[in-house]
């Protein structure tokens, strides 16, 4: 990119550097570009003037129903423009949106509704059947189908409301829980928009947007990688093209016919695109950047992707508790020949501090392995009504302990080695062993079970259950998997089952998961994918 183009794009970005809330962004873009496409899904389509008005109607409707700032509303369904309109509108009024993963089993979804103390439940298209069950949770005032939600958006009168402030909560995303229950990470307006200002002095080229661009939103909205992409489009004042879910033919169509220039994806999904028969027939000439995360990109996959898509690649590292990306491996560090830096997660973004801490909590020197900790305006407000869990994750000085183990080199690149917490990342989905173990306990043949992540070429990691049978019983792997499938979301169900006589434990009785994992990860530089 030449300097004149860079300066032009920087000047555009700097126009909104002072904005920190949904209300501010929506009002700004509605005045600046009222007829510019803002959001397009299968269900709704808005220019920026229309989106500003629709979200104001949502804010007004929620307040008219008696909701106040800090109340929660939930969404259960796939991605849609309806969801984003409800979310943006609720955020303007300071009502907190709680999107629920549509692949969750009903008891898991019910837990989130109850735990969040949601006042309203909105159901996506195709989820109307949940009205009789999830819609009847005792704390709910009302349940809306998608058609009823769109009627609310279109017909509610616009009224006056006091917009939420920069540091007020607007989004609550549930993360898998180490104790078997997910935790609600509470995010504010500033969490979602604040880092933009920190990078305005000298932003990386790949963070700047031209006027002919659009972003694809295909990752699940219950993840920061899904909802966050919709927020990214709004911040840039450009279209967000919303797909209900990741589907290769629809991704190809969005790239060829709907103006998409960037999208976020996990490496496993990239491989699915490459292997689809329509991939070679698609014109990818508009694609500028492909953002990926959850695991590094294998070198051979990168080579195939560059040859096919011709785009520049950006690795993103972050977590729900950091409102997504805090560390980036930029395009210039990707090479088809491979290099040392491609093993890293990149460098912290401007405005993000990262240190490596030892067991005593003190920072470690360059090159020494410890827990990765971070501090920035992206760090969550805390876990919903879990002060002890919040305190164990985020200290009084605002540092979040990520749970990832690694080191930092002399140039500031962060390298992952292991996961201090036991989380498994499979196909971009976070799975904690405790919740899978809870789903397997109770099987009539199982005395004990431990769940681990093992290498998987397609998904990065796969969930494996290691079971100890009850005396006189025999464990059938298919029976264990079927039992789990009735109680857990599909991505949490073990792909394989091992049977052993006893689980390895330390002197205090804690299961030694590392010992269970070692045979599967032997010979690899890192213990996570």
Mean of the per-residue pLDDT values for the chain?
Answer: 91
Average pLDDT (75-103) is: 97
CA distance 451 to 144: 37
Q: Which tokens is 465 given?
A: 């259950």
Sign for the pseudo-dihedral over CA of 350, 356, 360, 365: negative
pLDDT tens sequence across 214-224 = 999 999 999 99
200: pLDDT strictly greater than 70: yes
How much is the pLDDT for 130?
96
Instruction: Encode burial over 211-222: b for 16+ CB neighbours within 10 A, e otherwise.
Output: eebbbbbbbbbb
Confidence of residue 437 (pLDDT cuts 50, 70, 90): confident
Confidence of residue 431 (pLDDT cuts 50, 70, 90): confident
Confidence of residue 421 (pLDDT cuts 50, 70, 90): low
How much is the pLDDT for 524?
73
- The helix-helix angle for 48-64 and 22-32 (nearest 10°) equals 140
321 Cβ contact partners less than 8 Å away, ≥ 6 residues apart: 175, 185, 379, 380, 393, 394, 400, 402
pLDDT tens sequence across 484-519 = 999 888 999 999 999 999 888 765 566 788 889 889
Domain 21-190, CATH among 1.10.3470.10, 3.40.50.12780, 3.30.565.10, 3.40.50.2030: 3.40.50.12780
Q: Which of 140-144, 225-229, 265-269, 518-522 has the lowest mean pLDDT?
A: 265-269
The answer to whether 55 touches 100, Cβ cutoff 8 Å, is no
DSSP state of 276: S
255: pLDDT strictly greater than 60: yes
Q: Which long-range contacts (CB under 8 A, 24 or more apart) does 137-143 make?
A: 137/110, 137/113, 138/114, 139/113, 139/114, 140/113, 141/65, 141/66, 142/65
How much is the pLDDT for 419?
62
pLDDT tens sequence across 336-376 = 887 888 878 899 999 999 999 988 899 999 998 889 999 99
Q: Where are the domains of the chain?
A: 21-190, 424-521
213 Cβ contact partners less than 8 Å away, ≥ 6 residues apart: 236, 238, 259, 261, 262, 288
pLDDT tens sequence across 385-420 = 999 999 999 999 999 999 888 899 999 999 887 666
How much is the pLDDT for 308?
92
Q: Which tokens is 210 given?
A: 């031209």
CA distance 276 to 316: 25
Q: DSSP string of 59-97?
A: HHHHHHTT--TT-EEEEESS--HHHHHHHHHHHHHTPEE
521: pLDDT strictly greater than 90: no
SS3 330: coil
Confidence of residue 177 (pLDDT cuts 50, 70, 90): low
The answer to whether 162 touches 143, Cβ cutoff 8 Å, is no
418 Cβ contact partners less than 8 Å away, ≥ 6 residues apart: 404, 405, 406, 526, 527, 528
Average pLDDT (81-87) is: 98
pLDDT tens sequence across 11-55 = 999 999 999 999 999 999 999 999 999 999 999 999 999 999 999
How much is the pLDDT for 179?
54
The answer to whether 188 touches 381, Cβ cutoff 8 Å, is yes
CA distance 241 to 216: 5
Q: Which numeric CATH code is attached to 424-521?
A: 3.30.300.30
Q: Which of 116-130, 290-304, 488-502 has the lowest mean pLDDT?
A: 290-304
Kindly list the distances between the CA atom of residue 465 and the CA atoms of 226, 270, 445, 452, 458, in Å, as whole numbers in the listed order: 29, 27, 14, 7, 19
17 Cβ contact partners less than 8 Å away, ≥ 6 residues apart: 196, 197, 200
Q: Which of 126-130, 155-159, 176-180, 243-247 has the lowest mean pLDDT?
A: 176-180
The answer to whether 121 touches 114, Cβ cutoff 8 Å, is no
How much is the pLDDT for 238?
96
Tell the residue number behind the tokens 């009084």, with chain if given: 396
CA distance 403 to 343: 19
The answer to whether 33 touches 57, Cβ cutoff 8 Å, is no
CA dihedral 487, 528, 179, 359 (to 10 degrees): 170
């Amino acid at each position: 990119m030449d300097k004149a183009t860079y300066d032009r794009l920087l000047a555009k970005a700097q126009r909104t550097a002072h904005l920190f809330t949904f209300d501010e962004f929506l009002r700004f873009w509605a005045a600046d570009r009222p007829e510019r496409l803002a959001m397009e899904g299968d269900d709704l389509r808005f220019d920026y003037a229309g989106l500003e008005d629709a979200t104001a109607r949502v804010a007004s409707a929620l307040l008219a129903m008696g909701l106040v700032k800090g109340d929660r509303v939930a969404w259960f369904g796939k991605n849609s423009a309806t969801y984003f309109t409800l979310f943006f509108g609720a955020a303007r009024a300071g009502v907190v949106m709680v999107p629920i993963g549509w692949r969750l089993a009903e008891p898991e979804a019910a837990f989130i509704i109850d735990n969040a103390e949601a006042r309203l439940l909105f159901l996506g298209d195709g989820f109307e059947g949940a009205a009789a069950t999830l819609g009847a949770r005792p704390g709910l005032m009302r349940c809306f189908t998608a058609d009823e939600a769109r009627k609310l958006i279109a017909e509610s009168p616009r009224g006056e409301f006091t917009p939420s402030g920069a540091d007020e909560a607007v989004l609550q995303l549930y993360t898998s829980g180490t104790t078997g229950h997910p935790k609600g990470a509470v995010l504010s307006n500033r969490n979602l928009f604040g880092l933009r200002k920190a990078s305005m002095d000298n932003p990386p080229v790949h963070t700047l947007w031209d006027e002919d661009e659009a972003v694809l939103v295909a990752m699940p909205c219950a993840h920061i990688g899904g909802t966050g992409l919709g927020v990214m489009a709004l911040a840039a004042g450009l279209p967000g093209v919303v797909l209900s879910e990741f589907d290769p033919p629809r991704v190809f169509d969005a790239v060829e016919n709907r103006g998409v220039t960037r999208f976020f994806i996990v490496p496993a999904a990239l491989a699915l695109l490459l292997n689809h028969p329509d991939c070679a027939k698609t014109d990818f000439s508009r694609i500028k950047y492909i953002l990926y995360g959850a695991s590094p990109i294998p070198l051979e996959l990168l080579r195939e992707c560059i040859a096919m898509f011709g785009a520049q690649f950006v690795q993103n590292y972050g977590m729900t508790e950091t409102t997504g990306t805090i560390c980036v491996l930029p395009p210039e560090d990707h090479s088809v020949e491979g290099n040392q830096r491609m093993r890293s997660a990149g460098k912290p973004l401007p405005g993000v501090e990262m240190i490596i801490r030892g067991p005593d909590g003190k920072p470690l020197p360059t090159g020494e392995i410890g827990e990765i900790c971070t501090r920035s305006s992206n760090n969550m407000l805390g876990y919903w009504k879990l002060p002890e869990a919040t305190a164990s994750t985020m200290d009084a000085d605002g540092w979040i302990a990520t749970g990832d183990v690694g080191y930092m080199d002399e140039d500031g690149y962060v390298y992952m080695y292991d996961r201090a917490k036991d989380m498994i990342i499979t196909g971009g989905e976070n799975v904690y062993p405790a919740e899978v173990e809870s789903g397997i306990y109770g099987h009539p043949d199982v005395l004990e079970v431990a769940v681990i992540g093992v290498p998987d070429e397609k998904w990065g990691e796969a969930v494996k259950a290691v079971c100890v049978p009850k005396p006189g019983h025999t464990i059938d792997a298919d029976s264990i998997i079927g039992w789990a499938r009735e109680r857990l979301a599909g991505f949490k169900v073990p792909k394989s089952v091992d049977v052993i006589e006893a689980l390895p434990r330390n002197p205090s009785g804690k299961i030694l998961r590392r010992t269970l994992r070692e045979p599967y990860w032997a010979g690899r530089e890192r213990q996570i994918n």
